[in-house]
Structure 1
Amino acid sequence: MERQVTINHPEGLHARPASDFVEAAIPFQSKIEVVFQNKSVNAKSMLSLLKLGIEQGNSVVLRAEGPDAEQALETLGGILENTH
Structure 2
Amino acid sequence: MLDRTVTIRNKLGLHARAAVKFVNLSNRFSSSVKIVKDGDEIDGKSILGILTLAATQGTSIRLLVSGKDEEAAMAALVELIGNRFDEKE
TM range (shorter): over 0.9
Give the TM-score normalised by the residue count of structure 2. Answer: 0.90
What corresponds to 2:9 in structure 1?
8
Task: Please give the alpha-carbon distance, in whole angstroms, between the structure 2 residues aligned to 1:27 and 1:16.
Answer: 17
What corresponds to 1:64 in structure 2?
65
Task: Please give the alpha-carbon distance, in whole angstroms, between the structure 2 residues aligned to 1:15 and 1:22.
Answer: 10
Task: Please give the alpha-carbon distance, in whole angstroms, between the structure 1 residues aligned to 2:67 and 2:40.
Answer: 21
Query: Offset of 1:30 from its aligned partner?
Result: 0.5
Instruction: Map 1:1-80 onto structure 2 (within 5 A).
Output: 1-80=2-81
4+ residue runs of structure 1 moved beyond 6 angstroms? none
Query: Offset of 1:80 from its aligned partner?
Result: 1.3
- Alignment check: 8 A CA contact 1:9 1:17 kept: no
Q: Which amino acid aligns with 2:50?
A: L
Task: Please give the alpha-carbon distance, in whole angstroms, between the structure 2 residues aligned to 1:9 and 1:47.
Answer: 19
Give the TM-score normalised by the residue count of structure 1. Answer: 0.95
Over aligned residues, Cα RMSD in angstroms?
0.8
Task: Please give the alpha-carbon distance, in whole angstroms, between the structure 1 residues aligned to 2:24 and 2:37.
Answer: 20
Task: Please give the alpha-carbon distance, in whole angstroms, between the structure 2 residues aligned to 1:37 and 1:81.
Answer: 20
Q: Which runs of 5+ in 2 are unaligned?
A: none
**Percent identical:** 36
Task: Please give the alpha-carbon distance, in whole angstroms, between the structure 2 residues aligned to 1:35 and 1:82.
Answer: 20
